[in-house]
Amino acid sequence: VNLTNLLIERLRRRTHHEGYAPNLVVLAYEANSVLSQNLVERLIAGIHHYSAGSKLFSSSSNSINDAADPDLHSKLDAWRESAPNGQLLILRVRPAELPHLSRHFELKDVVLHIIDTTYHGEQLNNEGQVGVADIACVYIGARNLSYCDLQPWSYQLMPEQLERSIVQGTWNEPFNSTLDKIARYLTFKEVGIAMSSGAALGFAHLGVLDVMTECGIAYDVLCGSSMGGIVALTIARLGNIDQAIQQVREQLGSNRKIKDPSLLPRGSLFIGNKILAAAKATFGDCTFADLKHPAAVVAADLVTHERIIFDRGLVAPAVLATSAIPGFFPPIANQSRLMVDGSVVSLVPVDVLSTRRCGLRIAINVNTKPFSSGNDGITGFDGLLQKTQKPLGLKDVLSASWGLLGSWRSSSEALRAEIVISPQTPVESGYNFNEFEKLVECGRAAMRDRIESIQESIKLMLRA
């Protein structure tokens, strides 16, 4: 059976059955801002480009609310019932109207708040949601970062970028341009990547993303667990894969940069100060709002047994929480939470991409069925038994146990994605951070085998 045909059928079924019912796209902006008006017109063109047949909501009043239109709710309900799957209804509103409209929103609706920083009009505090609908922000001009410290990630568009787009007229924005990214966010056409846990094996994620970049494959959203989370945040922070590889190599690319054994182990074998120093060196006071890509990582709360998703606030604490491997590194205390490595609850957080409504979800799973390269001379039963009987054999028991957990559970989580990339990583390298270059190359090799299928999948998603 042709693999491409199977993928086409899977994407087609998602389009018709996985929440792709008719949805609202709400564009909230200050009508007196010329730049905001221009952006709205360009985005409407982008929505029609990616979601043919989408409609503009018409109202006899300049305002869209229940007072101006008592039949508003019934009109929206009638449209949801009659419109084809995947069609979008575009509403243009003032920011002040959003709280009054929120009762009409459903889970899959999306709100875009456009803020012209060169115009002092109405502003809306972005809590990430309006009612049950997600809200995203786009800033025209320079952002006030202090305003964004605890806000979700947002788009930034400079006035000259918008002016160039207006001159072009028809929608022919480059796939990786800010305007195109916004249009694809509104129409569920984003490419999202979920990266698995895997300790040192997670270096392979860098190789996968390196080849994707070489081949011109753009991505919109990054998420991950444990080392996958660290890689996701580093790439999102720097916005450049070459710089990300260099930064991870410098901060984490050897055992001496990671491991600081505790003389009297209590909650963990290692103290964790080196990981803390690496997080501060890479992220400092950076917040999620400062990142160049939207990103999220997961951790587990030992107190409440909840999965925690970090997507706002300071990045460094999120790095520490998602990578606090139980037994190896101490839990991270934050207010009333005691957090450990995200792999405890989610090895490959593909569902985070689903929450974002990514049209194409790619999972990178480095925790596949383990194999040995044979370089250590002793493998299998004899090798592991010898290691566990040595001083500090607890480390090897923990390593093997976490590796087993990963190889069993990660495959089922990864299969939620449309595409799964599984680098062939040697089992004995799982906690050997000296193998940085070797593991990055494992990722490159795996990605080279999948380039054509991913390129075809992106084309298919954009046509769906």
- The predicted structure's pLDDT at residue 386: 60
Helix %, strand %, coil % of the chain (to 5): 45, 15, 35
Amino acid at 209: L
Total residues found in the chain within this entry: 464
Cβ–Cβ under 8 Å, residues 101 and 129: no
Cβ-Cβ contacts under 8 Å for 206 (sequence gap 6 or more): 231, 241, 244, 245, 248, 440, 443
Distance between CA 427 and CA 122 in Å, rounded?
Answer: 56
Rounded to the nearest 10°, the torsion over CA 295, 296, 297, 303 is 160
- pLDDT means per 10 residues, the chain with 464 residues, are 55 50 87 93 94 85 73 89 88 91 90 88 59 88 64 88 77 89 94 95 97 94 97 97 98 90 71 93 95 96 94 95 88 90 92 90 84 47 54 55 56 84 82 93 95 90 77
- The predicted structure's pLDDT at residue 28: 94
Tokens of 130: 């309006």
Tokens of 202: 């997670």
Residue with tokens 């990583």: 425
Eight-state DSSP code of residue 418 = S
Eight-state DSSP code of residue 75 = H
Q: For 124-136, give the DSSP string.
A: ----SEETTEEEE
Which segments of 18-143 does DSSP mark as H helices, in order?
34-50, 72-82, 98-101
Which of 222, 225, 224, 244 lies closest to 235 in space, CA to CA?
A: 244
Distance between CA 363 and CA 418 in Å, rounded?
Answer: 8
**N-term to C-term CA, the chain:** 22
Cβ–Cβ under 8 Å, residues 422 and 446: yes
Q: List the domains of the chain with CATH numbers.
A: 17-186 (3.40.50.300), 191-463 (3.40.1090.10)
- The predicted structure's pLDDT at residue 16: 43
- Backbone phi, then psi, for 195, in 5-degree steps? -110, 135
Cβ–Cβ under 8 Å, residues 117 and 154: no
Tokens of 324: 């606090």
- The predicted structure's pLDDT at residue 377: 42
Residue with tokens 């708040």: 113
Eight-state DSSP code of residue 24 = E
User: Crossing angle of helices 178-186/159-168, nearest 10°?
Assistant: 80
- The predicted structure's pLDDT at residue 2: 54
Which of 181, 174, 179 lies closest to 220 in space, CA to CA?
A: 181
Cβ–Cβ under 8 Å, residues 107 and 36: no
Distance between CA 255 and CA 53 in Å, rounded?
Answer: 56
Cβ-Cβ contacts under 8 Å for 256 (sequence gap 6 or more): none
- The predicted structure's pLDDT at residue 122: 52
Sign of the dihedral through C-alpha 43, 47, 48, 50: positive
Sign of the dihedral through C-alpha 409, 415, 416, 422: positive
Tokens of 386: 């010898």
- The predicted structure's pLDDT at residue 146: 53
SS3 337: strand
- Backbone phi, then psi, for 436, in 5-degree steps? -50, -55
Cβ–Cβ under 8 Å, residues 37 and 94: no
Residue with tokens 């989610």: 346
Distance between CA 29 and CA 116 in Å, rounded?
Answer: 8
